[in-house]
Amino acid sequence: MKNKLYSGEHRLWLKRRRIRLTVVWTLRIGLLALLLFFWELSTRLGWADPFLVSSPSRILGTVGSLYRDGTLFYHIGTTLWETAVGFVLAIGLGYLIALLLWWSDLLHRVLEPYIVVLNALPKIALGPLIIIWCGTGSKAIVFMTVVVGIILVIMHMLSAFLETDENKLLLLRSMGASKLQILTKLVIPSSRVSFISMLKVAVGMSWIGSIMGEYIVSRAGLGYLIVYGGQVFKLDLVMTATCILCLLAAAMYFLVVLLEKILVKNTHN
Amino acid sequence: MKEKILEFENVKLIYHTVRGETVAAERLTFSVEEGEFVAIIGPSGCGKSTLLSLAAGLLTPSEGTVTRRGSVGYMLQRDELFPWRTIEKNILLPLEIKRRSTPQAREEALALAEKYGLGEFLRSYPAELSGGMRQRAALIRTLATGPDILLLDEPFSALDYQTRLSVTKDVSQIIRREGKTALLITHDISEAISLSDRVIVLTKRPATVAHTHALDFGETDPLKRRENRQFSGWFELLWKELNQ
């Protein structure tokens, strides 16, 4: 109905665009199907040892048996919970610390070298300490997730806060704005786009944190299944847990993208 | 005699950097009277923006005094409207900052916006407006709190030439009609001549007053001033003085 208003050329352009999108999506899904097909085929025909590389059908079988055990959602839930709590804590605390550092230039200058060193430190080195401090439960894994994510959040948000337009700052100061007003009326709203891009990176970081945590200490979770599967040479279990991780990570990323759409629609940046 | 809204007396300002100190202004004395439109021009790098920061009270002089009677409204090169706020919310921003956002004050500010043709754009976002309209919104925002003196920091320099002429006329008319005192700082000689009642010429750093001229066009429309015979005479004189 709407198309009647457009010129022939525009309708053609729209059609081409639609075709192009269809092609891209067909190829994307086709590539996945092809990979799965050859994976299955190569193990069936004996080109590859399914004991070493597993196979799609064996993965499905493992998912089924985990489901029947009643442990499938237990492991997924454990990892998801640890990741989500760590993600939220890392962002909340990191954002607060970034605000503090923006607020006090002295604090920022004093702490800068510490932040740089902590950023460069491989967090896995803290593993033994975390076990001793937090025990071997979920607390240790959440702690690991926070440690991995928080420095990134601090650095990303602080640089966004510090990049606030000088002229807009001048304008607010000329109106006699207090520091708190400058923060709430200008610095926070103008850093919204950076906040979203930080969230996208932080999603990945919190998965790294939680899985790394589960590698070091854990009795449940997808990271635990991977480590356990590796130790007892059950590669079906390793592959299954890895595939589920892929799906979960993708889902969490898309949630952030969805959030971005909602936020950006209301920001007009 | 009319009241002096802004007065600089023997102002000296030193800038400090790690590499040393720079005297940005020295023995700088001038004043702006109520209802006057004063333009300050100077060679590039004479610290024009510094001067406005002094006038706005954002900087304290190293020596001498800056006296302001009343409040200031600052207008910058770009409109600096906040993109995430509607035009209405942008115009009301200074009232929010000064915690004077009473229903009456809001109504007055919005009436001003209505009067100068922004009524239909109040719910729009800055990105949806033309450069000229945005600058007009920035002026209304500056006027929203009823400042006693307007400080204009090359407010037209970011606009293209066509828009610039019409916005200059626009802004000049609004300022004159509202009876506002204004201090314009610019490097653009013709802008200074077409807008102001008095032009102050500054020297190179350290900035001090080199010359002061009262302009007697008997006409406040900047476009008509540009067509006036006196215009080129003033232009030549000021150009020479700037390059001394």
pLDDT digits (tens, 9 = 90+) for B194-223: 889 999 998 888 888 888 888 888 778 888
Does A185 sit within 8 Å of B96, measured CB to CB?
yes
Read off the amino acid at residue A84. A
The pLDDT of residue A141 is 93
**Which chain B residue lies closest to A165 (C-alpha atoms)?**
B80
- pLDDT number for residue B204: 85
Tens digit of each residue's pLDDT (9 = 90 or more) over A46-80: 898 888 888 999 999 999 999 998 899 999 999 99
Using the CB atoms, write b or e for A206-224: b if 16+ within 10 Å: bbbbbbbbbbbbbebbbbb
Report the residue of A174, A179, A180, A194 to disrupt the B interface, i.e. the one with the largest count of B CBs within 10 Å.
A174
Are A149 and A206 in contact by the 8 Å Cβ rule? The answer is yes
Q: Where are the domains of chain A?
A: 2-48, 56-265
Residues of B in contact with A170 (CB under 8 A): 53, 58, 74, 76
What's the confidence (pLDDT) of residue B29?
Answer: 92
Cα-based distances in Å from A159 to A162, A232, A266, B162: 5, 46, 23, 38
Inter-chain CB proximity B83 and A268 less than 8 Å: yes
Please name which of B51, B67, B68, B65 lies closest in space to residue B147, comparing C-alpha atoms.
B68
Q: Which residues of A touch B (CB under 8 A)?
A: 165, 167-168, 170-177, 181, 185-186, 189-190, 192, 267-269
* Best B49, B80, B101, B143 residue to mutate vs chain A (most A CBs within 10 Å): B80
Mark yes or no for CB contact B82/A189 under 8 Å: yes
pLDDT at B146 over 90: no
- What residues in B contact A168, CB-CB < 8 Å? 80, 82
How near does any CA of chain A get to the CA of B94, in Å? 6
What is the per-residue burial (b if ≥16 Cβ within 10 Å, else e) of A117-139?
A: eeeeeebbebbeebbeebeeebb
pLDDT at B16: 87
Cβ-based contacts of A175 with chain B (< 8 Å):
74, 93-94, 97-98, 145
Shortest CA gap A130–chain B (Å):
43
Is B68 within 8 Å of B149 (Cβ atoms)? yes
CATH number for the domain whose boundaries are A56-265 = 1.10.3720.10
- Tell me which residue in A171, A173, A177 faces B80 most closely, judged by beta carbons: A171
Residues of chain A with pLDDT under 70: 1-4, 265-269
Residues in chain B within 8 Å Cβ distance of A180: none
Contact A174 B151 (CB under 8 A): yes
pLDDT at B121: 92
Calpha distance A216→A222 (Å, rounded): 13
Least CB–CB distance from B84: residue in A167, A174, A267: A267
Which residue, among B93, B134, B185, would best test binding to A if mutated, counting the most A CBs under 10 Å from its CB? B93
> Above 0.90 for ipTM, yes or no?
no
Task: Indicate the pLDDT class of residue B1, thresholds 50, 70 and 90.
Answer: low
pLDDT at B164 over 90: no
Sequence spans of domains, chain B:
4-242
Predicted pLDDT of residue B125? 92
Structural tokens at position A126:
């803290």
Instruction: Give A-chain residues touching B56 at CB under 8 angstroms.
Output: 174
B24: pLDDT confidence band, cut at 50, 70 and 90? confident
Average pLDDT estimate for B35-60: 86
Could you tell me how far CA B102 lies from the centroid of its own chain? 27
Distance from CA of B86 to the nearest CA of A (A): 9
- The more confident residue out of A90 and B165 is A90
CB B202 within 8 A of CB B42: yes
What is the nearest CA distance from A154 to chain B, expressed in angstroms?
Answer: 24
Comparing B21-30, B55-64, B81-90, B163-172, the range with the smallest average pLDDT is B163-172
Q: What DSSP assignment string belongs to B45-65?
A: TS-HHHHHHHHHTSS--SEEE
Residue spans of beta strands (DSSP E) within chain B: 4-17, 20-33, 37-41, 63-68, 72-75, 149-153, 181-186, 198-202, 209-214
pLDDT the model gives residue A263: 77
Write out pLDDT tens, residues A204-245: 999 999 999 999 887 889 999 999 999 999 999 999 999 999
Residues of B in contact with A174 (CB under 8 A): 56, 58, 72-74, 151
pTM: 0.84
pLDDT at B177: 87
CATH architecture, range B4-242: 3-Layer(aba) Sandwich (3.40)
Q: What percent of chain B has pLDDT over 70?
A: 99
- Mean of pLDDT over chain B: 88
In chain A, what residues touch B92 (CB-CB under 8 Å)?
A: none
pLDDT value of residue A268? 56
Q: What are the chain A neighbours of B97 within 8 Å (beta carbons)?
A: 172, 175-177, 181, 185
Tens-place pLDDT, residues B99-130: 888 899 999 999 989 888 888 999 999 999 98
pLDDT at B179: 87
B-interface mutation test, from A165, A170, A173, A175, most B Cβ less than 10 A away: A175
